[in-house]
Amino acid sequence: MILRPILPNEDKANEVYASANCQLLLSMYDDFYPKIGFALPWVGYFVIRQDEIIGSCGFIGQPKAGKVEIAYWTFKEFEGQGIASFACKALISIAAQTDPNLIITAKTAPEHNASTKILETNGFVFTEIVQDEEIGEAWAWAYKKADK
């Protein structure tokens, strides 16, 4: 699997984006990039396996106050195959290589689910309950760096 940045103004007519999930994703980024800006590496990424887009992940904007938030989405037909875990690890790696002092955060629905398991497996710890404009009441998580 690899990540490829989702660029502004991707050609939605390209057959690689034919799936409803890809069209939804591109539409979301048409709205999202004007709000957060497009500044590599703090962007969205396609998750690609064997030339097929199977999900997405990215940063919820550029770092602010020493923190950066990650998110990931595996398309339903590919769930349970380790894709979100791969995406989570890849985003941690990108953030840590770019700025090792950043605090990496994430939010989930306030319940134990696949996403909370992925975060826990990848070194995140629950920090608090927060309000999120999409989720409502959400659990906030922070990546706990391994002690050196």
Q: What is the full per-residue pLDDT of the chain (148 aa) written as tens digits? A: 999 999 998 999 999 999 999 999 999 999 999 988 899 999 999 999 999 999 999 999 999 999 999 999 999 999 999 999 999 999 999 999 999 999 999 999 999 999 999 999 999 999 999 998 888 999 999 999 765 4
Q: What is the CATH number of the domain that holds 116?
A: 3.40.630.30
- What is the per-residue pLDDT for 140? 97
Which residue from 6, 14, 136 is spatially nearest to 72, judged by alpha carbons? 6
Cα 102 from chain centroid?
A: 16
Task: Indicate whether 56 belongs to any domain.
Answer: yes
pLDDT of res. 146? 61
Its domain, for residue 56, covers 2-143
Q: Could you tell me if residue 134 is inside a domain?
A: yes
Bridge partners, residue 3, by sequence: 47
- How many structural domains comprise the chain? 1
